[in-house]
Structure 1
């Protein structure tokens, strides 16, 4: 929580409208925003009126009060997505949900029905609500909105500091380049530029992000990543580069480049008597390449390195339509002594299907759950569930995207033993990574 008071007129440039039907609610929202120096451009009373306003005006924020008797606030993300899909809305405004918070007893009707009268009544379960809607349900709904690209902030306390933080977050977001506009710009990348970068290595960098045992902070592994600096556009985000690589059928070439530099790093660590597994990302299409496992095993033998040190991390960039083929490929890779990890577990329904049907050694919890672990009870429940599932399937577990130091003890209490993220260490250039690992090893 940011503790400094809002600077006068700090938020005056934000274009804000409110969605409310009750006059008292309109006054509450106007008063709260006015205290932050924000005057709403308009107050609309229905989703139909909102759609008409959005079709004619740019809006940065929509503030609405959650009320059980009116579902407009809950339907708002769906309306925005429909407008965006129809081409009416070019950029999503942020949504602020606010409302009266209460702590209510939730009755368990099933237990009440089956519990004999002679037994003590079941323990009461208290659930926090906002406007009559369970906070946990709002968190789940907001997570779905986030996955669609719509920012939803739940102002639980409703105080000026929380509202100020939310407004400031939008300001910072607006100051950043729009990812979709960036993507449109990057679409002008010529295919021959991508091909040239991968065949010559021009502008490519290979970086390594350590993975830590959360309790001891001991380095237990790493992930190899690729970065591309374009001469005109600068750093090309991986979310842009990887689809280009896959579309051009260059995924195996990129894997081979990352694998080559990973082996060089492993050999440098071996000279220091350090052996930690390093993960290399690969699409399903890459893994299903004929003789992939045999070629990989040969490279490791030639480098005199055990297969267990190279971890193959399956991504969802390109799905192999023949699941039977993918299963055979993964099984062959594991039979050669390589570890296989499932990346971004929980990011989509496909990952659940893959885990149910295929065999892995490890799964990585998607960073969206990890980043929300402190704020959202639903994230904590999901992570606890994944930890239990990993135990049942005898899988190792890595928490990705750890960006706040304060989340580390919480993740450990939930059962996560290994993690990676900016709060632990950022991806490093090869020399910096080697020095970092060697120094940590010397110091115990």
Structure 2
């Protein structure tokens, strides 16, 4: 099959040890491995690649293709009291799809974790020449995208005074607004205010680089104030056009726990004639608050002033789960990693459905973020998610463009 696609294998190995020695001498683009009951190397390979990459022994992470014989394995028959999976079948036999004796849902979960670590995994459900060719095309696109993204090391030389200057003078900063839509009617029901920084030497600085630098310097409150100022500017312009939609602004726990935060923010809103419920505060985990009691008290004081509180990046890490259990939120935002995996992994739909049901039990609204594929929109709606944002709906827009967009929407 490789020959059919014009690809010449460089080497083949039977053990992980042999492969690790080979990789330590140079990088490869793709590793194809078989999933089978007698060999766990294909599963442990991901851990080996991650360890080598973190230690600097592997500069470029290869794509991994999993192949294997697929089958349906019977879980339990009707009336079977010895179901080890805890999933007794009601009225029929229960089956689970497997590859090489491993549940497909387990493989998909492992592939998601690998993706979070930067390893692209393709599961070849039908290991034929066409499927293999499609997998290579996908890997090629992934590597091209990774090459285009600025490396973290590029920004290591960013001087602290440069971000301080940008925040105090506004030079190079852009404030943009990404609409949030009702997924059924495609009506705009809100927006998120975001900041972008264009450096004179490095060009656009990713938020993943800018925000940690801001937090490291203790400038998160200053950044929040700048974004909040632009959010109020947009709300006033929308009020003039008779629009009433909430604008969300990201804020760390440290920022929200600032003394007298709720009072000062409410005074600014009332000073310009805006109701507080139009400003939504999205709690991020950029700077976690170690004192959960203080955070809970601060959020309660903010909600008492009429502001809405949203939990950002829900589902990522145990911290967000603990927050949702112990603190009340008006809204939870499902992290984009789950949304992007919706069309790729069958288990993602079940996870998102579970998130939505949990949020409903806690009387919280749900927003799906990171919607980049049009096909996921009806899927999210069927799962019970009513509101979403992402490139498939609208890109972030600067002030004037956003206002024009809103008028056209009307």
Give the TM-score normalised by structure 2: 0.95
- The equivalent of 2:269 in structure 1 is 300
Which residue of 2 is the match for residue 3 of structure 1? Answer: none
Are 2:170 and 1:201 aligned? yes
What SS does the aligned partner of 1:404 have?
Answer: coil
Counterpart check, 1:52 vs 2:15: no
- Post-superposition Cα deviations, 1:114-161, rounded to whole Å, max 9, x if no partner, equal 89xxxx973222321111111111001111112222221212122333
Unaligned runs of 5+ in 1: 1-31
Question: Aligned residue pairs: how many?
Answer: 405
Q: Which residue of 2 aligns with 1:129?
A: 98
Distance 1:121 1:149, change over 3 A: closer
Stretches of structure 2 that go unaligned for 5 or more consecutive residues are 84-88
Q: CA deviation at 1:252?
A: 0.5
Deviation at 1:34?
Answer: 1.8
Q: 2:124 aligns with which of 155, 164, 189?
A: 155
SS in 2 for 1:113: coil
Shift, 1:180, TM fit:
8.6
1:113 aligns with 2:81: yes
| Partner Cα distance (1:322, 1:434) in 2 | 40
| Equivalences for residues 35-434 of structure 1 within 5 A | 35-107=4-76, 112-113=80-81, 122-178=91-147, 182-434=151-403
SS at match of 1:43: coil
Give SS of 1:189's match.
coil
TM superposition shift of 1:391: 1.0
CA gap 1:285/1:77 in 2 versus in 1, 3 angstroms: same
1:355-389 CA-to-partner distances (Å, cap 9, x unmatched) read 11211110000111111112211101100100110
**TM-fit CA distance, 1:179:** 8.2
| Structure-2 separation of matches of 1:366 and 1:121 | 34
1:254-307: per-residue Cα shift (whole Å, max 9, x none)? 100000011000000000110100100011111111111111101100111000
Quote the RMSD (CA, aligned, Å). Answer: 1.7
What is the DSSP-based 3-state SS (H/G/I as helix, E as strand, rest coil) of the residue aligned with 1:342? strand
Q: Distance in 2 between matches of 1:316 and 1:233?
A: 26
1:349 Cα deviation after fit: 1.6
Deviation at 1:88, TM superposition (A): 1.6
Would you identify which runs of 4 or more consecutive aligned residues in structure 1 move more than 4 Å?
177-181
- Structure 2: how far apart are the matches of 1:273 and 1:434? 12
